[in-house]
A and B are shown apart, each in its own frame.
Chain A
Amino acid sequence: YSFSVEGDAIKVYVRVRPPSEGTALTDGDQGLCLSVLSSNTIRLHSKPEPKIFTFDYVANMETTQESVFSSVAKSIVESCMNGYNGTIFAYGQTGSGKTFTMMGPSDSDNFTHSLRGVIPRSFEYLFFLIEREKEKAGSGKSFLCKCSFIEIYNEQIFDLLDSASAGLFLREHIKKGVFVDGAVEQVLSSAAEAYQVLTMGWRNRRVASTSMNRESSRSHAVFTITVESMEKNNDIVNIRSSLLNLVDLAGSERQKDTHTEGLRLKEAGNINRSLSCLGQVITALVDVGNGKQRHICYRDSKLTFLLRCNTILHCSTRLPGVAPNLQIKLTFVAAFLKQDSLGGNAKTCIIANVHPGSRCFGETLSTLNFAQRAKLIKNKAVVNEDTQGNVS
């Protein structure tokens, strides 16, 4: 009956990409909006005062892919082998190097490329560890790896491994917790296979181009590998299972994405669904209700649902001074964190990618703010205690 009160706080890594060649030449040093001060601090040249941010790790422009993998993902993959759940979030504006960090250079076979990203390296390392473990234990131990790949777009869950599937649903099981009902699970036998499945699904994601930004992702994508190990010791069978979640959050510039809007008033122009966010406004009013018992009807948001299933974080994610659009993403992160970290058995990190160009100042600030806030998310529990009760 023991579980931790407090999950590990999220580890936050920030990676600064080099400016694209053109901008560096024309703008010179003046064109940069930030400088990396040390391996864990970064200075943003904001006005009037520059702002210093501290993170668990700051990768500057020269940091290699291998080094990013070692400091970010290696320990997470290792703990996954030890029965812990691990989650890696990627966050950042389009063009900030998110895909490069996670997948590797585009338009090439990332899986063998020397610049391949965190994900292929994680797969390699995971299967390397599995093989090593198998050799050590001989026939007594076997492994089963499965993966699923879902996308949350516009409040709906889609299965990226089954493009024919309609929206899927989140459900809860009294013993197993929250799960996506009906998501395809594919058995994996090697790292290369895992990577193949991932890239295939990745192509099914919803991206869009507008005249303002060329291409950006409007969805959150979650790639999950389940590692199950079975060990036979005489007559006792020991089964252990853990999850590795790789989460790609919707591009941070996609403010218009479903609930990520900040202060914007929701338009009612649409003929069919007029005044559709009145409910959200009312919900917000009810939310403030000073500890009174009440029921909030709106849980259409899959993210919110995930959160509610994991009620523990409900309060701790309401961080004062966080803009609502950040709040939603934090909420999403928090939902994952909590789901995993209950047994004190989860490792979570966020890789926040930023572009150093001064033109990206606004986005970079918002990304750094997000990353800063994410560090504060902790796993907290609240007990409804009736304080009216008499003590005599």
Chain B
Amino acid sequence: MAAAGGGWAAACEKFRSARTLSAVESRKDPETEPYRSKYSARALLQEVKQQLSAAEDCGEARLLAVRRAVLEYELGVNHTDTEELSAGEEHLQRCTQLLEPHRLTRDCVSLYIQAQNNLGILWSERDEIQTAQTYLESAEALYNQYMKEDGNPPLDPSEHFMSEEEKLTDQERSKRFEKAYTHTLYYLAQVYQHLEMIEKAAQYCHTTLKRQLEYCGYCPVEWALNAATLSQYYLSKQCFMESRHCLAAASVIFSQAGQVPSAEDSETEQDQQDLRQRKAEIARCWIKYCLNLLESARKLLEDNIGELDPDRQLELKAQRKKEEDEKENGRKKAVLFGSSDICDSVLAMEEKVSSVYPLDFQEAREIFLVGQNYVQEAKEFFQVDGYVTDHIEIVQDHSALFKVLAFFEEDYERRCKMHKRRIDMLEPIYADLNPQYYLLISRQLQFELADTYYEMMDLKVALGNRLEELDSHTIKKINSLAQLAIKYYELFLDSLRNPDKVFPEELEEDVLRPAMVAKFHIARLYGKLITSDSKKQLENMQMSLEYYTFLVDYCEKHPDAVRAVETELELSKEMVGLLPTRMERLRAKLCPFI
């Protein structure tokens, strides 16, 4: 028996070495022999296994089975780690078979769950996601059942090869067990994503993040970035409360990262730079939050010509009042991140910006200002020199913030000034940008500049209509805005030409609508140009007609295009019918005797 005891100590020692080789040493293996330590670990584990089977007759059957299961588990993981899946599967299967009768007991439940986690990984590597799903879901169910029926901190698998005095504390056991379960959820999040069960995947991502916070198993920067990214998922679902909560938590947790310098590597300049970049990334998620909230509100409030609908506004305000009275307890407990003190900081962060639709200019402006602050913060890192694409994207967002704010502005003069701000930020960037490398952005800017001038012209026309008579200053202004809009639409259309400067016979699907809208708007713009010179007016009408005709002809040749521009086409057809008569009349006026 003494000899057996000695043998046991040696076995424990070997087991421990194998674990260290696998987990620690293997990270230092040379790139040319990535699995050297894993192979050594495997050899050790096999020795222990042989030793165990030699000692078969002397021990207690259950104890032996569990120990064997631990070894099978380790061997299984080792083989899958080294890309030998079939062998890995055999070991893991043997592990679960050995444990099957005891899987709900305190010394086996954790090992069983981890074996199933690994079987899940293994099957996913064989592209059999559904099989992986069954293993993981059964691990999830086992956890829940164990917590319901027993709930005591279970043994960690490694304890089966430890002497009594080395055994873990209950606190440590619980921590490791919960971690294994967190991994189950984390793998399930991936499974659901692969199976395109998006909502479920999001829910499991959320829960994983939540558990990471609870059990302190996270790196603040990474966690914050994940939460910020998750907020963007909620944005696409129009769940602004959840989105804001994720962002607020991201900002709070991120601020921890700066305070706790990582012990391992001293902060290099590169780390600092990375940290600044992450901060800017989170700021950009906030910008999108503000933008989406404003834009969703606009969609609720606008009438059929895109203006603020006052009746709708009153109606929504009344509805909100009613909801506020009922709500208060509306917040779902499940979505909350963090324990009490983190939670308080998150709530404080949330209070800085609303998560309900703004219904008037004041409310919209508050959200706009928050967004604008984040624009400044993001731009500090993403400077144009080195980060062209990112920088321009941020400027585009800034412009979009102004655009949607302008919707809430009732004063046309002030609204026009907001659009002018957009021009001022976009035009210089556009001028510098090399379209050879940034064609897409270049086109976006052309189109947006054109649209902005177009909108400003419309506002000036509306302002002019309030006057008794158009003064020459207003006329000049309207004409120059219209000319600038035409210029940028034309630049956009030119960018579609091939190297031989020929406009394509058939437009690619993704530029079809923008190109047609550009043509249509140019047609309208020529119609809006004001001149007292009848000859000039005739020329403008001629231009207008040509562009309207393009639309009509194109859609005749390509009936598929009709769907994309139904309204525009209808109006164009009408104009193509009307314009020649009007031009005829004008010509008659010009030369009454012919």
**Cβ of B233 under 8 Å from chain A:** yes
Q: Which A residues are CB-close (under 8 A) to B501?
A: 2
With a CB–CB cut-off of 8 A, which chain B residues contact A298?
225, 229
Give the residue name and chain of the A residue nearest to B499 (CB): A344
The one of B83, B198, B492, B568 that contacts A285, using a Cβ cutoff of 8 Å: B198
- Is B190 touching A265 in the complex (CB atoms < 8 A)? yes
Which residues of chain B (259-303) have a CB below 8 Å from chain A? 278, 281-282, 284-285, 287-288, 291-292, 295, 298-299, 302
Which positions 356-392 of chain A face chain B at CB distance < 8 Å?
A: 380-392
A196 to B513 alpha-carbon distance, docked (Å): 52
- The stretch of A38-46, A126-134, A172-180 that contacts the partner chain: A172-180
Given contacts A285-B201, A381-B439, contact A174 B511 (CB under 8 A): no
Segment at the interface with A among B90-98, B382-390, B459-467: B382-390
**Which of A48-56, A58-66, A96-104, A308-316 touches B?**
A308-316
Which stretch, B52-60, B359-367, B419-427, B429-437, touches the partner chain A? B429-437
A381 near B443 with CB under 8 A, answer: yes
A321 to chain B, nearest CB (A): 13
The 6 closest A-B pairs by CB, nearest first: A289-B236, A177-B437, A390-B306, A172-B388, A294-B232, A383-B514
Describe B's contact surface by its main secondary structure: helix
**Given A264-B125, A385-B514, residue A293 in contact with residue B288 (CB < 8 A):** yes
Annotate A185-205 by CB proximity to B: 1 below 8 A, 0 otherwise: 000000000000000000000
Instruction: Contact check, A297 vs B235: say whether CB atoms are below 8 A apart.
Output: no
In the complex, chain A residues whose CB is within 8 Å of the CB of B400: 293
Write out the residue numbers on chain A whose beta carbons fall within 8 Å of the beta carbon of B552: none
Of the candidates A171, A212, A315, A344, the one whose C-beta lies within 8 Å of that of B510 is: A315
Q: Please state if A267 and B436 are interface contacts (CB–CB under 8 Å).
A: no
> In the complex, what distance in Å separates the CA atom of A129 from the CA atom of B53?
74
CB contact between B186 and one of A278, A286, A294, A387 (< 8 Å): that residue:
A278
Please indicate the chain B residues that have their CB under 8 angstroms from the CB of A174 in the complex.
384-385, 388, 429, 432-434, 438
B393 (CB) vs chain A CBs: closest residue: A295
Q: Determine if B66 is an interface residue (Cβ-Cβ < 8 Å).
A: no
Instruction: Using CB atoms, name the residue of chain A closest to B433.
Output: A174
Interface centre among A285, A382, A392 (most CB of B within 10 A): A285
User: Scoring B residues 507 to 526 as 1 if CB is less than 8 Å from chain A, else 0, what string do you get?
Assistant: 01011011001001000000
A391–B567 touching, CB < 8 Å: yes
Within 8 A of A (CB), among B32-80: 32-35, 39, 77
What is the distance, in angstroms, from A95's C-beta to the closest C-beta of chain B?
17
Q: Do the beta carbons of B498 and A5 come within 8 Å of each other?
A: yes
Q: Which of B187, B292, B384, B389 contacts A309 (CB 8 A)?
A: B389
Smallest distance from the beta carbon of A277 to chain B beta carbons, Å?
A: 7
Q: Is the beta-carbon distance between A343 and B436 smaller than 8 angstroms?
A: yes
Contacts beyond the supplied A263-B194, A275-B212: 11 A-B pairs with Cβ under 8 Å = A2-B499, A172-B386, A211-B82, A275-B186, A281-B201, A292-B235, A297-B278, A343-B499, A345-B499, A380-B510, A381-B443
Q: Say yes or no: A275-B182 contact (C-beta < 8 A), given A210-B34, A211-B82, A383-B511.
A: yes
CB neighbours (8 Å) of B132 from chain A are 265
Q: Does B217 contact A (CB under 8 A)?
A: yes
Stretch from B155-163, B202-210, B554-562, B580-588 forming part of the interface with A: B202-210
Task: Answer whether residue B447 sits at the interface, using C-beta atoms and an 8 A cutoff.
Answer: yes
Picked from A175, A283, A290, the residue with its CB within 8 Å of the CB of B229 is A283
**Contact assessment for A295 and B236 in the assembled complex, using a CB-CB cutoff below 8 Å:** no
**B579: Cβ under 8 A from any A Cβ:** no
Q: Which residues, 486 to 516 on B, are CB-close (under 8 Å) to A?
A: 491-492, 494-499, 501, 504, 508, 510-511, 513-514
Chain B residues lying within 8 Å of A391, measured Cβ to Cβ, are: 517, 520, 567-568, 571
Inter-chain contacts of A208 with B (CB < 8 A): 31-34
Q: Which residues of A contact B182 (CB under 8 A)?
A: 275
State how many angstroms separate the Cβ of A261 from the closest Cβ of chain B. Answer: 8
Task: Give A128 to B567 CA distance when docked, in angstroms.
Answer: 59
Is A236 an interface position by the 8 A CB rule? no
Cβ–Cβ contact B23 & A392, under 8 A: no
CA distance A343 to B495 in the complex (A): 10
A274 within 8 A of B: yes
Instruction: Judge whether A35 is part of the interface by a CB distance below 8 angstroms.
Output: no
- Using CB atoms, name the residue of chain A closest to B227: A282
| Nearest-neighbor residue (CB-CB) of A255 within chain B | B125
Give the chain A neighbours of B386 by CB distance below 8 A. 171-173
- Contacting residues, chain B, for A282 (C-beta < 8 A): 202, 205, 226, 229-230, 233
**B33 to chain A: which residues have CB within 8 Å?**
208-209
CB distance from A104 to the nearest CB of B (A): 24
Selected A-B contacts with CB under 8 Å, 15 pairs: A2-B498, A5-B498, A177-B437, A206-B31, A209-B32, A275-B218, A277-B190, A278-B226, A281-B201, A282-B205, A283-B229, A293-B292, A296-B229, A297-B282, A312-B440
In the complex with contacts A3-B436, A212-B84, A281-B508 CB distance below 8 A: no
| CB–CB B82/A177 < 8 A | no
A165 to B441, CA, bound (A): 33
Binding site for A on B (CB under 8 A): 23, 31-35, 39, 77, 81-84, 120-121, 124-125, 127, 129, 132, 179, 182-183, 186-187, 189-191, 193-194, 198, 201-202, 205, 208-209, 212, 217-219, 222, 225-226, 228-230, 232-233, 235-236, 278, 281-282, 284-285, 287-288, 291-292, 295, 298-299, 302, 304-306, 384-389, 397, 400, 429, 432-441, 443-444, 447-448, 451, 491-492, 494-499, 501, 504, 508, 510-511, 513-514, 517, 520, 567-568, 571
Complex interface: chain A residues within 8 A of B82 (CB): 210-212
Separation of A5 and B567 alpha carbons in the complex (Å): 26
A207 at the binding interface (Cβ < 8 Å): yes
A271 within 8 A of B: yes
Q: Is A318 an interface residue (CB 8 A)?
A: no
Interface size class of A (residues with CB under 8 A): 35 or more
Q: Are B511 and A295 in contact (CB under 8 A)?
A: no
Query: Which residues of chain B come closer than 8 Å to A310, judged between CB atoms?
Result: 437
User: Shortest beta-carbon distance, A39 to chain B, in Å?
Assistant: 30
CB of B204, distance to nearest CB on chain A (Å): 9
CB–CB B306/A388 < 8 A: yes
- A window 254-305: CB within 8 A of B: 256, 262-269, 271, 273-279, 281-286, 288-290, 292-298
Are A288 and B439 in contact, with the CB atoms below 8 A? no
CA distance A319 to B254 in the complex (A): 36
Q: Which residue of A lies closest to B23 (CB)?
A: A271
CB pair A265–B120 under 8 Å, yes or no, is: yes
How many whole Å from A87's CB to the nearest CB in chain B?
Answer: 15
Expressed in whole angstroms, the minimum distance between the Cβ of B39 and any Cβ of chain A is 7
Complex contacts, A81 vs chain B, CB 8 Å:
none
Separation of A314 and B201 alpha carbons in the complex (Å) = 23
Inter-chain CA distance A178–B498, complex, in Å, is 23
Contacts of A308 in B (CB 8 A): 389
Contacts of A262 in B (CB 8 A): 127
Q: How far is the CB of A147 from chain B (nearest CB, A)?
A: 21
Q: How far in angstroms is the closest Cβ of chain B from A361?
A: 16
Query: Which of B236, B291, B292, B437 has the most chain A CB atoms closer than 10 A to its own CB?
Result: B437
A387 (CB) vs chain B CBs: closest residue: B513
Is A339 in contact with chain B by the CB < 8 A criterion?
Answer: yes
Q: B81, B304, B443: which has the most chain A beta carbons within 10 Å?
A: B443
**A281 neighbours in B (Cβ, 8 Å):** 189-190, 193, 201, 205
Q: Tell me the bound Cα distance from A265 to B288 in angstroms.
A: 30
A268, B186: Cβ atoms closer than 8 Å: yes
A178 to B222, CA, bound (A): 27
| Pair B434/A175 contact, Cβ less than 8 Å | yes
Please give the distance in Å from A267's CB to the nearest CB on chain B: 6
Asked, given contacts A289-B233, A297-B281, whether A173 binds B385 with beta carbons under 8 Å apart, the answer is yes
User: Which of B205, B292, B389 has its CB near the most chain A CB atoms (within 10 A)?
Assistant: B389
Beyond A4-B498, A211-B35, A344-B498, whether A311 also contacts B389 by CB under 8 A is yes
Which of B226, B306, B386 counts the most A-chain CB atoms under 10 A from its CB? Answer: B226
Residues of A within 8 A of B127 (CB): 262-263
Contacts of A207 in B (CB 8 A): 31-32
Complex alpha-carbon distance, A168 and B241, angstroms: 40
